[in-house]
């Protein structure tokens, strides 16, 4: 019984963190793990752990500030953008899939330099940024 309560509490915390991150993103903002830690009054490591567990369990990447702004040690969303581009998706579709504003040049900023490198060196593949 106690394990079930602990698991339910952990899941509730993960949902809460995901909801906070998504709400900030919908409002045009982005929260850092440190900011989330202060909001939910949990340790930095626990918040980071719960965010990663949520991403693994749900198969979605939460748009934290570190992920969006390419900060920290985690892989960034540039790899996701390039992967979708290599699959043949158009810029508006990539923007929609990755949660970017279609009126902003973020996709072009990632894909453009990659095309210059590919064309300049004639490579068929480049490791993700």
Whole-angstrom distance, CA of residue 86 vs CA of residue 83: 5
CB under 8 Å to 43, separation ≥6 — which residues? 37
The continuous run of DSSP H or E covering 88 comes out as none
Same domain, 107 and 50: no
Q: Determine, yes or no, domain membership for 23.
A: yes
55 with 82, same domain: the answer is no
Q: Are 17 and 33 in contact (CB under 8 A)?
A: no
Q: What is the pLDDT of residue 119?
A: 43
- pLDDT bucket at 117, cuts 50 / 70 / 90: very low
Residue 127 falls inside a structural domain: no
Model's pTM, two decimal places?
0.62
Residue 128 lies in a domain: no
In a domain? residue 82: yes
pLDDT digits (tens, 9 = 90+) for 97-115: 776 666 656 666 666 655 5
Q: How many domains does the chain have?
A: 2
Query: Range of 91's domain?
Result: 78-121
Segment 87-96, tens digit of pLDDT: 888 878 877 7
HSE, CB side, 13 Å, CA atoms: give it for residue 116.
Answer: 6
Residue 36 lies in a domain: yes
Q: Compute the average pLDDT of residues 6-34.
A: 93
- pLDDT at position 61: 84
The band of 82, judged by pLDDT with boundaries at 50, 70 and 90, is: confident
Q: Does a structural domain hold residue 73? A: no
């Amino acid at each position: 019984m106690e394990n079930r309560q602990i698991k339910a509490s952990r899941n509730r915390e993960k949902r809460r963190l995901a909801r906070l991150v998504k709400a900030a993103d919908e409002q045009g903002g982005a929260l850092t793990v440190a900011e989330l830690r202060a909001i939910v009054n949990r340790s930095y490591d626990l918040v980071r752990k719960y965010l990663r567990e949520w991403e693994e369990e749900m198969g979605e990447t939460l748009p934290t500030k570190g992920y969006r702004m390419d900060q920290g040690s985690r892989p960034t969303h540039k790899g996701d953008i390039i992967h979708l581009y290599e699959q043949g998706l158009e810029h508006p579709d990539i923007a929609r899939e990755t949660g970017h504003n279609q009126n902003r040049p973020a996709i072009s900023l990632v894909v453009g330099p990659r095309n210059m490198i590919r064309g300049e060196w004639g490579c068929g593949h480049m490791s993700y940024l």
